[in-house]
Each structure stands twice: as C-alpha cells, then as structure tokens.
Amino acid sequence: MSGELSPIDKAKFVAAKRSVDFVEDGMRVGLGTGSTAAWMVRCLGELVREDGLRIKGVPTSTRTAQLAREVGIEVISLDEAKWLDLTIDGADEFDSSLNLIKGGGGALLQEKIVATASDQMIVIADIGKQVDALGAFPLPIEVIPFGWQTTQALVEETLISMDVLGRNSTLRMNGQRPFVTDEGNYILDLHLNRIGDARQLAMVLNQMPGVVENGLFIDICDCVIVGFGDGRVEVRDINAGTVEESRLDFLEDDNLFSDLSD
C-alpha cells in the first residue's frame, strides 16, 4: 500500500492508525466524518473483526454509519449511548490551542453534538491542516433553508464588525442544487481568510436567527494526532501539555483502504 499512497495520504493513514490505540474494549465511540476519519473507521473495523474489540459506534453522518456497518462496527444512536467515552474525528484546520474549523464534509452539526457529548475528543489530521490562525479554510455555517438569503445577508453585514479579513459567503452546492445536510439544512461557506477572535465569532454567529450551528470548535478538542508523509506521528495533548512522537511502518499487503474514495 505504501507505494500507492501519496505523502498526504500516508500522513492521513498514520494519524488514523495511531488514533485507534486510544480505543478500549467496551467503549462508546463517536465516529467522525471525512476521508481521514473514514480511514480510522476502517482501522477500528479491523480490530473488531480480527482482535475481537467490542465497541459501540455513534456516527456523525449517514455515510459514516454505512461505512461502520460495512466493516463490522455495531452502530447505535447518540440517544441510545447517552454519553460517549471518546470521539475521533478529522478537521479542516487546527491551531496551536487545538481550536478547529470543521464542516468541509457537511456534517458539522452532528459532529459538534457528538464531540461535546464525549469525555474526550481526539482529532486526526495531516500536518497540512495546522495553521497559525484559523480562517484560510472557508468557515461553514449550517442554516435552515427558509429565508437563507436573508440569513446570508445578515451574516455578511455582521461580519463587518468582526475581526476577519474577508466577508464574502457562498451557498454550498451539490451540482446544480444546494447541498443539503443530513438534517435537511443548507450550508453557507464564509470566506474570511483570517479569524482574529474565533471564540467571539462563534458566539455571534450562533445568535443569528436562521443559523443552526457554525464550524468553529472552540475548547472541544483535547488531543490532536498529526500525521506526516514519512510515517511520523505526533500526539499533542493540550491538557497534559505533552507531545509524543512515533513512527508507523507501512505494509505492502495492507488493503484496508483500497476501495475507499477520498
């Protein structure tokens, strides 16, 4: 497999592979959405099938739920689980304080609900997702379809008083139609370039009528596992203030992700 993966895919793989070391028998685990998180789900499925790991997974999207079932993970709802031991998910950006931008895959609402209902949130990402300041990646906000253009205008007007460099927004599309989330909502992508005060922006956005949730994850992530293209992995624990480095080898016959699209 190592000969087939690009450096960025190797980085995603080793981060995902390292993250499942935190999963223990009997845990209730939140399963993230996105390409890196999907690789993590495959790794967990391998442990379930080959090592007898017993877990219950709470997916953050319909596509993650489908993948989890395919690889043999027992899937339950958050209402059934009530509380989770651990959530493992990806991120579109993270800063030195482990604040995040999420929602590039369109599942930010379920992702935030699941993450905040967990004792611990671990983020897995390649080193390219690390930034000095959040905002280069467009910030997604989930809005209800009713009056979405009015909501968009209100958001752009409000951004004038925020510490951001850009104020344009676009409706996320799926072909010729608006992208629709699992909850039946739309997503506006805010092109801010740089966010000066992410905490303030998150609070202001969520006070607007029509806005369901935003993709800023503030003080939610406890640990980030960063993968590098050469197989190195860093585990950065914000609570313990530690950084642990290791290296994972690639197996040529490992076909865990051979049929997994990005």
Active site residues: 111
Contact call for residues 125 and 91 (beta carbons, < 8 A): yes
Cross-strand partners of 88 = 31, 122
Name the one residue in this structure whose structure tokens are 């996320």.
Answer: 172
Residue 237 — φ and ψ, nearest 5°?
-100, 115
Both tokens of residue 133? 């300041």
Q: Which residues are CB-contacts of 66 (< 8 A; sequence separation ≥ 6)?
A: none
- Distance between first and last Cα of the chain: 15
CA dihedral 39, 40, 46, 48 (to 10 degrees): -150
Nearest to 110 by CA among 201, 222, 217: 217
Binding residues for substrate: 33-36, 89-92, 102-105, 129
Give the annotated binding-site residues.
33-36, 89-92, 102-105, 129
Q: Can you tell me the distance from the alpha carbon of 120 to that of 54, in angstroms, rounded to the nearest whole number?
A: 19
Instruction: Give me 92's structure tokens.
Output: 């579109």
